Amino acid sequence: MILDGKHVLITGGTGSLGQQIVRRLLTGEMGTPSKIVVFSRDEAKQHYMRLSYLNRKEATDEVIYRNFRQLLSFRIGDVRDYSSVLQAVREADVIIHAAALKQVPSCEYFPFQAVQTNILGPQNIVRAVRENDTKVEMVIGISTDKACKPINVMGMTKSIMERVFVEANIDCPHTRFACVRYGNVIASRGSVVPLFLDQIANGGPVTVTLAEMTRFLLSLDQAVDTVFAALEHALPGETYIPKVAAARMVDLAEVVINGRDIPIQYIGIRPGEKIHEIMVSEEECYRTIERGDYYAIAPMLPELHSATIDKPALSSAYSSENVTLDHQGLRELLADYLAGAQTRVAA
């Protein structure tokens, strides 16, 4: 299997996505790595993540906990700091780059902080691979739908991150760089569903920006599936896009409220927000192919083109404006997550 015997480095490994990637890697579904290294700057999150494994005494069908002592290790470091990045990259075979500043309003108020983390961080990874005798075989960068035709700082910096990794395939021909791009992860830290539940627990109101606002929605496991699909199948410079559902945010709010006497309050667009998100632009359509449950966008640079695309997979933008989920569809999508969350709200 693709990760058998590989040293896997996960930057931002203490985030919601990073932690789920670690759980999934420990199941062995991608093979058995020789080492999994969580690289992040937050020692508290690393401490509690380590304890969460130490306190599990038995293997479950979800995670092979008995293996974590041999496989999983933690490294304090910041992607902004080249020397700490280099130390982590030296031993890696595979890098999953999830470290980022991802909150849209925060990036609007602190744009250069976003530049340092979301652009200089990836560049430090590329530099470490390019300028040193590393054994890195592949790098997967985690991007966002906001990087497509961006209007906010977070999206702009993530769009440049994509280009940094695409171009790295030319500078580092022995390493495969690719990206994944997706929408709102339902249960991730800072996402809208946990916000709605907190607001409900406090008696409301549930705040929605605009009645027309739509978003792509996917589960944390769907996000990890996309990363794993790119690891296995993405060609150099490709961007992988999952085929996922889209919904109106007001419908999502109504499903989470679930008939309770909680009002919805419209508060207007926050700094940097779009009404609809786009995962593939109309300009990218002509170089997009279908690959199973994913779209793959070929790189813009002609040096990296592997073949001519005779029949593009899309004829128009892949936009959340094309809503696919009604209330019932949202209930089904959120069922597993809300089952536990509603219990916590009631308590």
Residue 4 has pLDDT above 60, yes or no: yes
CB neighbourhood size of 98 (10 A): 25
Residue 151 within any structural domain of the chain: yes
Residue 35 within any structural domain of the chain: yes
Locate 84 and state its tokens: 């700490």
Helix, strand, coil percentages for the chain (3-state, nearest 5): 40, 20, 40
Residue 341 within any structural domain of the chain: yes
> What would the DSSP string read from start to end of 167-212?
HHHHH-TTSEEEEE---EETTSTT-HHHHHHHHHHTT-PEEES-TT
Instruction: Name the residue with higher pLDDT: 193 or 82.
Output: 82
Tell me which of 6, 102, 146, 274 is the catalytic residue: 146
**Percent of the chain surpassing pLDDT 70:** 93
Residue 346 has pLDDT above 50, yes or no: no
Residue in the structure block whose two tokens are 């933008």: 317
Q: Residue 46's closest CA among 24, 75, 21?
A: 75
Residue 2 within any structural domain of the chain: no
pTM of the model: 0.91
Residue 98 within any structural domain of the chain: yes
Residue 186 has pLDDT above 90, yes or no: no
Residue in the structure block whose two tokens are 């991802």: 102
pLDDT at 268: 92
149: containing domain: 7-346
Question: Residues 6 or more apart from 246 whose CB is under 8 A from it?
Answer: 183, 214, 215, 216, 217, 319, 320, 321, 322, 323, 324, 325
pLDDT tens per residue, range 232-272: 999 999 999 999 999 999 999 999 999 999 999 999 988 88
Residue 193 has pLDDT above 70, yes or no: yes
- CATH number of residue 96's parent domain: 3.40.50.720
pLDDT tens per residue, range 280-320: 999 999 999 999 999 999 999 999 987 788 889 999 999 99
Strands 138-142 and 176-180: parallel
Residue 171 has pLDDT above 70, yes or no: yes
pLDDT at 236: 97
Residue 228 within any structural domain of the chain: yes
Residue 1 within any structural domain of the chain: no
Number of structural domains in the chain? 1
Establish whether 146 is a catalytic residue.
yes
Q: Residue 141's closest CA among 150, 157, 307, 293?
A: 157
